[in-house]
């Protein structure tokens, strides 16, 4: 009995020492980090997230704790940067220090650090360098990609005309048009608008966006050790992404079976050729897993984000017909009705350019940015951010920074116009983020937004039977992505 009692006491003492060490370690790390709201054990700052509005919560806490503070996602501290100055200092001045990829538990079970966006270190460098070179070779930033977009604009216009000026939800049509552009680069083909598999793929994008931004998804990101084992709609994210991966694997097999190494047709062919070239290189990251998950990333980032921005834009123009009319007036003056818009028209259309920039700023599609982390112990404004600590460069706080935008909560194209009506750039316009991990599809996205929007307004006037309020058009500012409300509209031929 005495031996058993001593064993119990010893076990209790050891457990107490472990608990004390963990508390000491956690507390000592907290003392080195910027101050922030006091976290609870296990839950962190979960209770501070009001009504599932993660992005809004982080913005409000920035007003209380300053432009740099610490917020606990469960047990994990995340240093939050608010406002242009802090975000620029973090991602540009300390750009190399924060090139690590932070945790995102809603999708980490699928990606596990593979693919272009979730990776870091040498894997990220290899995949990014290859992707940039390959996308350039297939027209990113060149006239050939402009021709692909203009071709898709024609298909989109014909699809809209089929609605015969009746009210309908344009979301899927817009998603199909935009996704076909990245599809032509990645898969070497465009899909017909009535293709069932294509339709299903876009459903997956939209539903994944919604679930990641939902309250369930936000709680999973904060306390995955609990939420990963609890039934709920958040569990469907993994299933959806795996279904998308299966679709991608089918496309890879088609390419593999018909591959000609001397004449690559698309991104997949180039990656397959690179895999073969580096098959004996143990440090190579060109493998099937990275191919599948990089394609997943390219479609997600290069398709749905632009489509979501356009959906926000159409909703805003329905709310403000006077702005829509001014853009159409500029289109009529510069382009007319006898030819398609060209990218080179953009420099002659300052009001249209300002409206598109304001749509991007106002819609704030990825408000919290992709998560980053410190790759080494980093001193930032007098605080020590330990290696591996997550950092959040809050894009919504930059795009809504009152120092740089006079009316940040209102849609106002004058944010990008000078007193003479000329287009003016704004340093705080960072929808594609900043620094070394800036979105590599920025050039493509800007081209798509201009050509799709001007083509729509050249051919149609946008109307709706619904009277939209300010709150209807304002981004919901919840979690990962800002998705506009569903809406019905009609496209009246001009």
Confidence of residue 21 (pLDDT cuts 50, 70, 90): very low
Instruction: Give the model's pLDDT for residue 25.
Output: 52
67 pLDDT above the threshold of 90: yes
- Radius of gyration of the CA atoms of the chain, in A: 24
Confidence of residue 356 (pLDDT cuts 50, 70, 90): very high
Cα–Cα distance for residue pair 154/80, rounded to 1 Å:
43
- Residue in the structure block whose two tokens are 């990113």: 140
30 pLDDT above the threshold of 80: no
Sign of CA dihedral 394, 400, 401, 404: positive
15 pLDDT above the threshold of 90: no
Q: Of 252, 368, 297, 261, nearest to 110 (Cα)?
A: 297
Instruction: Give the model's pLDDT for residue 225.
Output: 86
Of 103-107, 140-144, 146-150, 218-222, the one with minimum mean pLDDT is 140-144
Confidence of residue 1 (pLDDT cuts 50, 70, 90): very low
Instruction: Give the model's pLDDT for residue 137.
Output: 80
Would you state the structure tokens that stand for residue 413, as one six-digit string?
A: 């194209």
pTM exceeds 0.75: yes
192 pLDDT above the threshold of 70: yes
406 pLDDT above the threshold of 70: yes
290 pLDDT above the threshold of 90: yes
Of 327-341, 458-472, 476-490, the one with minimum mean pLDDT is 476-490
Mean of the pLDDT values across residues 14-34? 58
Cα–Cα distance for residue pair 257/180, rounded to 1 Å:
23
Q: Of 78, 116, 104, nearest to 439 (Cα)?
A: 116
Would you state the structure tokens that stand for residue 330, as one six-digit string?
A: 């500029």
Provide the mean pLDDT of the chain. 90
Q: Is 492 left (phi over 0), alpha (psi -120 to 50) or beta?
A: beta
Residues 121-173 have pLDDT tens digits of 999 999 999 998 988 887 655 568 899 999 999 999 999 999 999 999 999 99
Q: Domains in the chain, please, with CATH?
A: 25-493 (1.10.630.10)
202 pLDDT above the threshold of 60: yes
29 pLDDT above the threshold of 70: no
User: By percentage, how much of the chain surpasses pLDDT 70?
Assistant: 92
Instruction: Give the model's pLDDT for residue 479.
Output: 66
Which stretch, 104-118, 203-217, 224-238, 398-412, has highest mean pLDDT? 398-412
Of the two residues 366 and 480, the one the predictor is more confident about is: 366
């Amino acid at each position: 009995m005495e031996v058993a009692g001593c064993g119990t006491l010893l076990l209790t003492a050891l457990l107490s020492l472990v608990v004390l060490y963990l508390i000491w370690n956690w507390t000592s790390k907290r003392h080195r980090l910027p101050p922030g709201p006091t976290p609870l054990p296990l839950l962190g700052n979960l209770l501070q997230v009001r009504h599932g509005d993660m992005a809004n919560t982080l913005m409000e806490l920035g007003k209380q704790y300053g432009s740099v503070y610490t917020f606990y996602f469960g047990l994990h501290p995340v240093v939050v940067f608010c406002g242009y100055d802090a975000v620029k200092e973090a991602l540009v001045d300390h750009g190399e220090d924060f090139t690590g990829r932070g945790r995102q538990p809603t999708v980490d079970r699928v990606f596990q650090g593979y693919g272009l966006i979730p990776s870091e270190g040498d894997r990220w460098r290899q995949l990014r360098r290859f992707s940039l070179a390959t996308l350039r070779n297939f027209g990113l930033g060149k006239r050939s990609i402009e021709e692909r977009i203009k071709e898709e604009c024609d298909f989109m216009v014909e699809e809209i005309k089929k609605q015969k000026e009746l009210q309908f939800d344009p979301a899927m049509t817009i998603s199909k048009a935009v996704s076909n552009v990245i599809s032509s680069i990645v898969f070497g083909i465009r899909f017909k608008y009535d293709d069932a598999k294509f339709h299903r793929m876009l459903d997956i994008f939209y539903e994944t966006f919604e679930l990641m931004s939902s309250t369930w998804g936000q709680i999973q990101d904060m306390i995955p050790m609990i939420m990963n084992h609890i039934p709920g709609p958040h569990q469907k994210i993994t299933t959806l992404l795996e279904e998308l991966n299966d679709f991608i694997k089918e496309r890879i097999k088609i390419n593999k079976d018909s591959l000609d190494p001397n004449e690559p047709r698309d991104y997949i062919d180039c990656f397959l050729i690179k895999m073969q070239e580096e098959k004996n290189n143990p440090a190579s990251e060109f493998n099937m897993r990275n191919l599948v998950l990089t394609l997943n990333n390219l479609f997600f980032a290069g398709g749905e984000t632009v489509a979501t921005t356009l959906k926000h834009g159409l909703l805003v123009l329905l709310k403000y017909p006077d702005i829509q009319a001014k853009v159409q007036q500029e289109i009529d003056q510069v382009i007319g009705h006898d030819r398609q818009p060209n990218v080179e028209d953009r420099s002659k259309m300052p009001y249209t350019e300002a409206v598109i920039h304001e749509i991007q700023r106002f819609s704030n599609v990825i408000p919290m940015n992709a998560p980053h982390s410190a790759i080494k112990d980093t001193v930032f404004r007098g605080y020590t951010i330990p290696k591996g600590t997550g950092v959040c460069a809050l894009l919504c706080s930059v795009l809504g920074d009152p120092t740089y935008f006079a009316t940040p909560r209102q849609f106002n194209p004058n944010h990008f116009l000078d007193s003479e009506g000329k287009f003016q750039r704004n340093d705080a316009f960072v929808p594609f983020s900043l620094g070394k991990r800036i979105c590599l599809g920025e050039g493509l996205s800007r081209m798509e937004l201009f050509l799709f929007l001007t083509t729509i307004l050249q051919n149609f006037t946008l109307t709706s039977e619904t009277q939209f309020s300010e709150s209807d058009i304002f981004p919901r500012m919840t979690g990962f992505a800002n998705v506009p409300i569903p809406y019905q509209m009609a496209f009246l031929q001009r």
